[in-house]
């Protein structure tokens, strides 16, 4: 599939959902899967250049403080995302949000058909975190967002965890649940995020004067770039994958979890979607600007069986509840892959392609459905 497949995946993401949230008949290519039940990276020890790609403008530096996402001037929005997808599980991120009026720090889980689960921090409000979700890009309802008051988010590292199952999504701060969304409460499940996701970490200026007035108000006001730099620090990320796989394929256009095929055979998707890393202003940099050995990260071995959740699937902490077993055709897949994860190179997100897809996204968002 190579570069063509990667472009198709971006186009699928841009064109699959209409303004009202209904999916269009655009066939998405298979997503490369997280082939193990548990993945962890400690960014205070360096970058994991095998598992993450960069997107957006502005560097991400890796220092003893963690991954540093910095806006130092207008037009920057440093972002990284996993080169693989996972299908139900938990995502745990230890971070400090950025300060600054209009500056938005974010942790986003996003699928190809625009299912999304979010954490967001507004730089002018240090004692609050926001949660949100989308189903197939549907933005016609305005009751999806939530706010949770808490301690200092900008000078103290907190553990922000999302527990995502076929039945409910729960957001946790330092192990305490702050919000739960049940499947049936998201437009009867139609607006419920339920397709394979990748993890995106980034920072952007919601208060940029070029943004829509409503966005600027939501972000807390217009950003004063003379007060830069604004930095978000991410120390560690852990992902527990309930359905390890080589790849995940959309079998129809419904966007339901039941339509996702979990592929445990090597179909080449994982390798072909990986490209080269770029070191520089639009890429990921370390303190020495040299990619050495990957940092210490943990991946547990896959079991040799299929058809049930592997023993090493990463049992969630006691505060979590996993998906209950379903019956009949409504049971979500819980298959474990059977061979070692392959390593590859990350994809260099060329600015031309990104701009083209961004333009296409705008056309879809505001054009006729």
Catalytically annotated residue among 68, 92, 110, 120: 120
pLDDT band at 1 (very low <50, low <70, confident <90, very high): very low
pLDDT band at 29 (very low <50, low <70, confident <90, very high): confident
Q: How many Cα atoms within 13 Å fall on the side-chain side of residue 272?
A: 18
- pLDDT for the residue numbered 7: 44
Cα–Cα dist 200/24, whole Å: 24
Q: Are the C-beta atoms of residues 173 and 92 closer than 8 Å to each other?
A: no
The pair of three-digit structure tokens given for residue 166, joined into one six-digit string: 């076929």
Question: Does the pLDDT at position 17 exceed 70?
Answer: no
Q: How far is CA 331 from the centre of its chain?
A: 24
Most confident region among 79-83, 306-310, 330-334 by mean pLDDT: 79-83
Nearest alpha carbon to residue 332 among 248, 239, 238 = 248
- pLDDT for the residue numbered 76: 97
Q: Are the C-beta atoms of residues 302 and 37 closer than 8 Å to each other?
A: yes
Any idea what the Cα angle at residue 172 is, between residues 167 and 173, rounded to 5°?
Answer: 175
Q: For each of the domains in the chain, give its residue range(s) and CATH number, in order of start.
A: 2-366 (2.60.120.200)
Any idea what the Cα angle at residue 262 is, between residues 243 and 168, rounded to 5°?
Answer: 50
Strands 79-82 and 284-286, sheet pairing: unpaired
Element (H, E) at 363: helix 351-366
CB atoms within 10 A of CB 365: 14
- pLDDT for the residue numbered 267: 63
Q: What is the pLDDT of residues 45-89, one digit of tens each?
A: 999 989 999 987 888 999 999 999 999 999 999 999 999 999 999
Strands 284-286 and 60-63, sheet pairing: parallel
CB atoms within 10 A of CB 147: 14
Cα–Cα dist 185/357, whole Å: 32
The pair of three-digit structure tokens given for residue 332, joined into one six-digit string: 């979500």
Cα–Cα dist 127/326, whole Å: 39
pTM: 0.72
Cα–Cα dist 63/28, whole Å: 37
Q: Are the C-beta atoms of residues 249 and 263 closer than 8 Å to each other?
A: yes
Q: What's the mean pLDDT in 247-270?
A: 86
Q: What is the pLDDT of residues 160-192, one digit of tens each?
A: 999 999 999 999 999 999 999 999 999 999 999
Mean pLDDT of the chain: 74
Cβ within 8 Å of residue 198, ≥6 positions away: 31, 81, 82, 83, 84, 85, 86, 109, 110, 111
Question: Does the pLDDT at position 204 exceed 90?
Answer: yes
Q: Tokens 């994860």 belong to which residue?
A: 341
Nearest alpha carbon to residue 243 among 57, 52, 89 = 89
Q: What is the pLDDT of residues 275-290, one digit of tens each?
A: 332 222 333 333 322 2
Query: Can you state the angle between helices 2-15 and 351-366, rounded to 10 degrees?
Result: 30
Most confident region among 111-115, 216-220, 312-316, 336-340 by mean pLDDT: 216-220
pLDDT band at 27 (very low <50, low <70, confident <90, very high): low
120 is catalytic: yes
Q: What's the mean pLDDT in 301-327?
A: 31
- pLDDT for the residue numbered 26: 57
Q: Are the C-beta atoms of residues 338 and 306 closer than 8 Å to each other?
A: yes
Catalytically annotated residue among 35, 116, 235, 272: 116
116 is catalytic: yes
Q: What's the mean pLDDT in 235-255?
A: 96
- pLDDT for the residue numbered 227: 98
Share above pLDDT 90 across residues of the chain, in percent, rounded to a whole number? 58
* Of the candidate ranges 13-17, 121-125, 145-149, the one whose mean pLDDT is the lowest: 13-17
């Amino acid at each position: 599939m190579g570069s063509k497949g990667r472009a198709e995946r971006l186009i699928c993401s841009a064109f699959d959902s209409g303004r009202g949230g209904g999916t269009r008949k655009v066939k998405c290519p298979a997503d490369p899967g997280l082939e193990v039940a548990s993945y962890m990276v400690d960014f205070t020890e360096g970058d994991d250049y095998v598992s993450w790609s960069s997107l957006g403008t502005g560097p991400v530096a890796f220092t003893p403080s963690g991954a540093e996402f910095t806006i130092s001037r207008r037009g920057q929005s440093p972002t990284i995302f996993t080169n693989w997808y996972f299908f139900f599980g938990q995502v745990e991120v230890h971070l400090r949000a950025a300060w600054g009026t209009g500056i938005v720090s974010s942790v986003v889980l996003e699928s190809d058909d625009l299912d999304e689960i979010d954490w967001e921090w507004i730089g002018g409000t240090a004692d609050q975190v926001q949660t949100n979700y989308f189903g197939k890009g549907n933005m016609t309802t305005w009751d999806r967002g939530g706010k949770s008051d808490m301690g200092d988010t900008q000078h103290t590292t907190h553990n922000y965890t999302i527990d995502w199952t076929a039945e409910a999504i729960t957001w946790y701060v330092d192990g305490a649940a702050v919000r739960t969304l049940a499947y049936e409460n998201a437009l009867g499940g139609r607006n419920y995020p339920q397709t394979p996701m990748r993890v995106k970490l980034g920072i952007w200026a919601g208060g940029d004067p070029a943004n829509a007035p409503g966005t600027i108000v939501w972000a807390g006001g217009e950003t004063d770039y003379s007060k830069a730099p604004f930095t978000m620090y991410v120390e560690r990320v852990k992902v527990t994958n309930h359905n390890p796989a080589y790849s995940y394929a959309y079998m129809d256009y419904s966007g339901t979890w039941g339509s996702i095929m979990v592929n445990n055979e090597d179909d080449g998707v994982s390798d072909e979607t990986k490209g080269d890393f770029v070191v520089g202003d639009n890429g990921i940099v370390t303190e020495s600007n040299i990619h050495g050995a990957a940092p210490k990260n943990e991946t547990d071995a896959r079991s040799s069986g299929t058809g049930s959740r592997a023993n090493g699937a990463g049992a969630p902490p006691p505060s979590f509840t996993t998906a209950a077993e379903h019956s009949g055709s409504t049971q979500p897949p819980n298959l474990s892959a059977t061979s070692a994860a392959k390593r590859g190179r990350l994809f260099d997100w060329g600015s031309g392609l990104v701009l083209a897809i961004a333009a296409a996204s705008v056309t879809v968002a505001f054009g006729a459905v």
